[in-house]
Structure 1
Amino acid sequence: MQAEIVVPEDAIISLIRLALACEVSKKPIRREDIQNLILGENGGRLLRPLLVKANERLAKDFGMQLVPLPTIARALSTLTIAGRRAATKKAEPSQNPTASTSYCLIACPERKRGYHRQPDQLGLLTLILVLIHLSGGEMEESQLLESLNSWSAGRYFSCVQDGFAEFKRQKYLTSGKKSDDQNVTVYSAGPRAQVEFPPRALVDFIMGLGSLMNQANQLKERLEATFRIPQ
């Protein structure tokens, strides 16, 4: 029987502090930083048990957990539109937490506290992500702004353009240039959005807006197909 790997208490505390500090600035927690700052050169075998122990403490004390960020999203901004769609279809979330190169903090499902930014930021971000998903997973900047204007977004949300920049910085959005026109910027959901705003949550958001509409079941089925949600 293999002996249980003992994780030093100071390593657990250090990872929790690193995770909370990165969460404040909405930066991903890099595996490289965990290795260099906490585990050291010979601590590779401690990574998995360290993540487990840190998550137990985070869930108990803060109602949060560390989850891997999708690695596929890191390459989306450099792919062509066709290649990006193909890569997204092939991508599957990793079940191995040590296979990811970065992580982020989210609220535990059983202790969901909701998005802790301002309500107008949450509303604007949710609307942007819905529009992007309804457009097949990506959307040109001009089309996105036009759609937001048609919803009178500027009336309800302060400085939409600043929101784009902030959401990109926080990894909720990624952007790239169109393959056949380098002057056109294309937006897609960033790695943090893929973790915190899964397609199912966005479909539920849309259905909540249209809960009184006729043929709601048919609408939900069409949305699930558009958002590529497995049945």
Structure 2
Amino acid sequence: MPPSRRRTRPTEHEEPEEDSTQLTQENGNGSAEEATGDEGSESEDPNRAADEQLAKKLVRYTLSCEYSRTPIRRDGIKERVLGNQGRAFKRIFALAQKQLRTIWGMELRELPVREKMSLQEKRQAMKSNVQPKTGSGAYILTSVLPAAYRSAAIIAPSRIPTVEAEATYLAFYTMVVSLIWLNANELSEPKLMLYLTRLNANKNVASEATELTLKRMERQGYVVRKVDRPPVGHEGENTVTWHIGPRGREEIGLDGVMGFVREVYGESNDDLEKKLRSSLGIKQTREDADGDTIM
């Protein structure tokens, strides 16, 4: 009698073939997903690295422009830094700002739009239906360090051309901008020359002629020289007035002017602060009975 063939049952320690096959497939899918993820990260890294390099290039460009006090213009950034990556301006600009703040203690700030100075310009602006510009498209580097680290003992003037020449120029343009600001943002040329004569600076500023120094300040955006000519057919002399330039407003600002005046007077008191705020057009603040601030 032939032996009967009996179907063997899997023991408890044995696993079904179906489960092992399914596990193998799952492991295969997992490996494929990991490989895809690695490829994705590898493809993202070059783009990120390229952006970082462009941001570093932008930082170098801004530092070189600031060294010569040249406005950093958006068109210049696109032309000299971004090239054919002009659409990436916002992304690269944000990365450069991060590097400037965390490493250099500075940031890029947009210069204000040039104000309408003459009465004719203001009337034309009122009649025009064109939307006024909200930004100038030009930037400068400013410090973001705490005030305690901005003292002259820590941040000394540039050594080029010399420390003395740079310190003299910085003091001169700070003084001129402060004088214009204290005279309601407009100073006639005869009055400016009167101030400079009293300071023995009407002819020379250190080793440079005063006229050349004022032209350099105008070129770098600290001041604006406005010439008003008499109407056609009328006789008369040109009227020259000096105004604060975009760089003067952003770099020096009201705080710089007030600090300059306090330094000149040597000490601050209530009477000085009251006159200073009045000259600068700053509204006085006071507190009511509840302690709320009233303008």
TM-score (norm 1): 0.76
Distance 1:125 1:49 in 2: 35
Please name the residue that 2:145 is paired with: 109
Listed as ranges, the matches of 1:167-182 within 5 Å are 167-178=217-228, 180=230
Once the two structures are superposed, residues 94-148 of structure 1 have per-residue CA deviations (whole angstroms, 9 ceiling, x without a partner) of 7xxxx44110112223253365461111221121112111211011222201111
Secondary structure in 1 matching 2:70: coil
Counterpart position of 1:228: 281
Encode CA deviations 1:149-192: one digit per residue, 9 max, x unaligned: 12223598323222101111211111111365772221111111
Given candidates 238, 245, 248, the residue that maps to 1:183 is 238
Question: Which structure is richer in relative contact order (CA contacts within 8 A, separation 6 or more)?
Answer: 1
Equivalent in the alignment of 1:209: 264
Structure 1 residues 169 and 114, CA, compared in 2 at 3 Å: closer, same or farther?
A: farther
Q: Which has the higher helix share?
A: 1
1:157 and 2:210 are equivalent in the alignment: no
| Segment of structure 1 superposing worse, 135-144 or 50-59 | 50-59
Counterpart position of 1:26? 69
Structure 2: which amino acid aligns with 1:162? L
Three-state SS of the structure 2 residue aligned to 1:131 is: helix
1:222–1:82 distance in 2 versus 1, CA, 3 Å = farther
For 2:218, give the aligned amino acid: K
Partner of 2:191: 143
CA contact (8 A) 1:107 1:114 kept: no
Give the alignment's Cα RMSD to 1 decimal.
3.0
Task: Tell me: CA distance 1:167–1:106, structure 2 relative to 1, closer, same or farther (3 Å).
Answer: same
Shift of the alpha carbon at 1:228?
3.0
Q: Point out where structure 2 has 5 or more consecutive residues left out of the alignment.
A: 1-46, 126-133, 159-164, 231-235, 286-295
Q: Of residues 133, 138, 145 in structure 1, which corresponds to 2:181? A: 133
| Shift in CA distance, 191/129, structure 1 to aligned 2, threshold 3 Å | same
Give the alignment partner of residue 218 of structure 1, picking from 263, 271, 276. Answer: 271
Within a 5 Å distance, the mapping from 1:69-88 to structure 2 comes to: 69-71=111-113, 73=114, 75-76=115-116, 79-80=117-118
Q: Which runs of 5+ in 1 are unaligned?
A: 88-93
Q: Does 1:66 align with 2:66?
A: no
SS in 2 for 1:26: coil
What is the CA–CA distance in structure 2 between the aligned matches of 1:59 and 1:80, rounded to whole Å? 38
Is 1:141–1:185's contact at 8 Å kept on the other side of the alignment?
yes
CA contact (8 A) 1:80 1:179 kept: no
Letter in 2 for 1:211: G
Q: Sort the Cα spacing of 1:48 and 1:217 in 2 relative to 1 into closer, same or farther, 3 A.
A: farther
SS in 1 for 2:64: helix
One-letter identity of the residue aligned with 1:80: S
Q: If you compute each CA radius of gyration, which structure gives the higher value, 1 or 2? A: 2
Counterpart in the other structure of 2:56: 13
Shift in alpha-carbon separation, 1:114–1:174, aligned structure 2, 3 A: farther
Partner Cα distance (1:129, 1:139) in 2: 10
Instruction: With the length of structure 2 as denominator, give the TM-score of the two structures.
Output: 0.61
Contact 2:52 2:95 in 1 (8 A): no
What is the rounded CA distance, in whole Å, between the counterparts of 1:217 and 1:24 in structure 2?
A: 39
- Taking structure 1 as reference, are residues 32 and 229 closer, same or farther at Cα in structure 2, changes over 3 Å only? farther
Q: How many residues matched?
A: 209
- Which whole-Å CA distance do the structure 1 matches of 2:227 and 2:144 have between them? 35
Q: Is 147-156 or 6-15 further displaced after alignment?
A: 147-156
